[in-house]
């Protein structure tokens, strides 16, 4: 490999020179790559590579060549058995710039890009992040994962954590399964397909297992995948411990909402084609019963009676009452409170009196002119003449709200009729209209209360206005002394020298020193982006060497150097610029009239 050296006139003809340069790169063992000789001075290598520089001189030298690697200056060591050969080895872990120097002979700058080793990449194709193994499915979950590494995979394993039990009695067990058999030969890419056997892991119904994959590369770098969850569906049914003979209904009283009735109707319509006609009719009738209960619930707001009380207050015949045996309380009915035997006189006295507010036609005195037949008829009609079911006196709702409630009940009647007869699709429009009217009633009956908050006291304007007192009115002010930001004086000085060199005339005094001062900053930039600043660094050193030797400067190298130094400067803040003055007379007259 031939390195390019800068020629200097101060070099005597008898001085030793570097006539041959060899580089050899030994990659680290984890790359499993053979040693190679770079074809150019700038090259790439893996992190941890051992690089050997070996040079041959034209004649023996008292001072060995120097390798300038980054900011270090490393003298080359003589090779045993060869007085003209020198060499040096270095293990590189970071990118750097280097050049060789022997007396006045200096090579160009070259870059070494060190590529770090990447950790393995794990990509799980299946299963999903959460998997539910339902009842009837085989308790096996297939896993498919793709592994990738830049140099080779050495090991992989599956870590599963089994969670068993419920509540506070949950036990966790970790099970590790090695998957390294699928990585024989240390491939760079591999596809693993392990299978989670839930029974083999000790899972039962209702248990869960959390698993993730781990992979190692040849350099023993570890990568872990995300955690995935697999749950086995619990099929056990928790039975009540209460005795069935107690007859206790543990479920609370529940009224189906109109929205839920619509949902149930649409669900039954979707399943109608897959169900027998008898089942559809039974479920439709059940929804109709729910619609009836909801209608009766809202009917109470309008004073409607429940259907269980219709005709229940009629007085039986005295002869039938005398001949009918009296059942003891609590017998013949599930609820004991249904059978009470109050005294007739006492019951009548408690339920009806003159000031109870009811319209009792049988409460007239005997001397009002009624006949016995009329009195008997009025007594028989007495239960039906109560004013409880009068919607005008049942509540204090507004007439508009009552009208909408009446419309709601009418829609529920129509919906119940069609649900009871199995006409599901015809019942849906009435159900939707009932729901819409119910929402309108809710909005009309809603009460809005103003939110209570802090009310500040009124400001005493009479005493503070127009007084000029600014005590406590000034905004807080803080002062802090900050250093001015650096203006890159070395960069600007070097840029000024380059511009003067491009112009005709002798070079300014101290031009070489100004260019050499900006060398370290340009070297750091070339180390980060060699393709952008490495050529400029070479031009800088050649121009500085020519100025030191008082030789003419090659001006073809100055534009690229000026461009690189300009790119290193920070972007200036935008400043306002004056607009160009109008050129023609009409435009000037227009602006003059505006002003």
Say how far apart CA 86 and CA 497 lie, in whole Å.
39
In a domain, 539, yes or no: yes
Closest CA to 158 of 233, 218, 227: 227
**What are the CA-CA distances from residue 412 to residues 255, 348, 420 (Å)?**
14, 38, 12
- What per-residue confidence (pLDDT) applies to 81? 84
Range 46-63 burial, b when 16+ CB lie within 10 A, else e: bbbbebebbbebeeebee
Q: Are residues 176 and 210 in the same domain?
A: yes
In a domain, 376, yes or no: no
Query: Residues near 204 by Cβ (< 8 Å), separated by ≥ 6?
Result: 164, 232
In a domain, 464, yes or no: no
pTM of the model: 0.47
- What per-residue confidence (pLDDT) applies to 292? 92
Residue with tokens 């070479």: 538
Say how far apart CA 270 and CA 272 lie, in whole Å.
6
Residues in the chain: 595
Q: Are residues 37 and 105 in the same domain?
A: yes
- What per-residue confidence (pLDDT) applies to 395? 56
CB atoms near residue 267 (< 10 Å): 12
Number of domains in the chain: 4
- What per-residue confidence (pLDDT) applies to 228? 93
Residue 105: give its domain's CATH number.
2.60.40.10
Closest CA to 164 of 210, 213, 131, 227: 210
Q: Are residues 127 and 94 in the same domain?
A: no
pLDDT tens for each residue of 412-437: 999 999 999 999 999 999 999 999 99
Domain termination site, one of 115, 130, 149: 115
Q: Are residues 174 and 93 in the same domain?
A: no
Say how far apart CA 500 and CA 554 lie, in whole Å.
13
Q: Are residues 534 and 493 in the same domain?
A: yes
Say how far apart CA 540 and CA 553 lie, in whole Å.
11
- What per-residue confidence (pLDDT) applies to 271? 92
Q: Which stretches in the chain have pLDDT values below 70?
A: 1-2, 6-13, 167, 235-256, 305-369, 383-396, 446-451, 461-462, 464, 483-487, 581-582
Q: Are residues 14 and 30 in the same domain?
A: yes
In a domain, 238, yes or no: no
In a domain, 473, yes or no: no
In a domain, 366, yes or no: no
- What per-residue confidence (pLDDT) applies to 286? 93
In which domain, by residue range, is 539 found? 489-568
Q: Are residues 218 and 263 in the same domain?
A: no
- What per-residue confidence (pLDDT) applies to 41? 85
Residue 179: give its domain's CATH number.
2.60.40.3550
Domain termination site, one of 200, 232, 264: 232
């Amino acid at each position: 490999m031939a390195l390019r050296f800068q020629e200097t006139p101060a070099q005597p003809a008898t001085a030793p020179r570097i006539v041959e340069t060899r580089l050899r790169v030994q990659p680290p063992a984890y790359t499993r790559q053979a040693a190679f000789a770079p074809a150019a001075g700038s090259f790439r290598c893996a992190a941890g590579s051992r690089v050997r520089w070996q040079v041959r001189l034209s004649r023996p030298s008292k001072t060995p060549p120097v390798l300038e690697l980054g900011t270090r200056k490393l003298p080359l060591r003589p090779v045993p058995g060869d007085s003209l050969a020198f060499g040096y080895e270095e293990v590189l872990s970071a990118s750097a710039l280097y050049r060789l120097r022997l007396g006045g002979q200096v090579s160009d700058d070259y870059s070494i890009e060190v590529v770090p080793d990447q950790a393995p990449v794990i990509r799980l194709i299946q299963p999903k992040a959460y998997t539910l193994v339902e009842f009837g499915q085989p308790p096996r979950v297939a896993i498919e994962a793709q592994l990738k590494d830049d140099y080779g995979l050495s090991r992989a394993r599956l870590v599963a954590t089994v969670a068993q039990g419920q509540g506070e009695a949950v036990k966790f067990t970790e099970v590790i399964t090695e998957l390294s058999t699928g990585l024989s030969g240390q491939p760079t890419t591999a596809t693993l397909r392990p299978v989670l056997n839930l029974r083999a892991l000790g899972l039962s119904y209702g248990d869960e297992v959390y698993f993730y994959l781990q992979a190692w590369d040849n350099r023993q770098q570890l990568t872990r995948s995300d955690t995935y969850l697999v749950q086995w569906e619990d099929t056990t049914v928790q039975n009540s411990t209460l005795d069935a003979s107690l007859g206790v209904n543990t479920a609370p009283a529940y009224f189906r909402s109109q929205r839920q009735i619509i949902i149930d109707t649409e669900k039954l319509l979707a399943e109608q084609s897959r169900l027998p006609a008898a089942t559809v009719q039974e479920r439709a009738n059940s929804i109709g019963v729910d619609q009836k209960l909801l209608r009766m619930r809202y009917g109470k707001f309008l004073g409607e009676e429940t259907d269980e009380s219709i005709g229940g207050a009629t007085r039986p015949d005295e002869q039938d009452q005398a001949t009918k045996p009296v059942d003891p309380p609590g017998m013949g009915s599930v609820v004991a409170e249904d059978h009470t035997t109050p005294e007739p006189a006492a019951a009548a006295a408690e339920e009806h009196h003159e000031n109870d507010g009811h319209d009792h036609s049988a409460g007239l005195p005997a001397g009002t002119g009624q006949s016995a037949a009329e009195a008997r008829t009025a007594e028989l009609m007495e239960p039906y003449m109560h004013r409880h079911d009068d919607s005008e006196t049942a509540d204090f709702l507004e007439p508009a709200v009552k009208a909408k409630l009446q419309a709601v009940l009418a829609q529920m009647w129509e919906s119940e009729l069609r649900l009871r007869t199995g006409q599901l699709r015809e019942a849906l429009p009435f159900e939707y209209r009932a729901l819409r009217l119910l929402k309108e009633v809710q909005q009309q009956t809603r009460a809005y209360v103003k939110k209570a908050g802090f009310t500040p006291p009124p400001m005493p304007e009479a005493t503070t206005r127009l007084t000029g007192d600014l005590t406590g009115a000034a905004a807080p002010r803080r002062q802090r002394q900050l250093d001015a930001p650096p203006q890159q004086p070395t960069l600007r000085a070097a840029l000024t020298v380059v511009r003067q060199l491009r112009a005709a005339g002798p070079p300014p005094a101290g031009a070489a020193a100004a260019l050499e001062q900006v060398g370290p900053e340009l070297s750091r930039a070339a180390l980060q982006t060699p393709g952008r600043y490495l050529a400029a660094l070479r031009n800088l050193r050649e121009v500085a060497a020519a100025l030191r030797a008082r030789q003419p400067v090659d001006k073809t190298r100055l534009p690229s150097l000026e461009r690189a130094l300009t790119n290193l400067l920070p972007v200036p803040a935008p400043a306002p610029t004056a607009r160009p003055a109008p050129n023609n007379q009409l435009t000037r007259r227009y602006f003059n009239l505006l002003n």
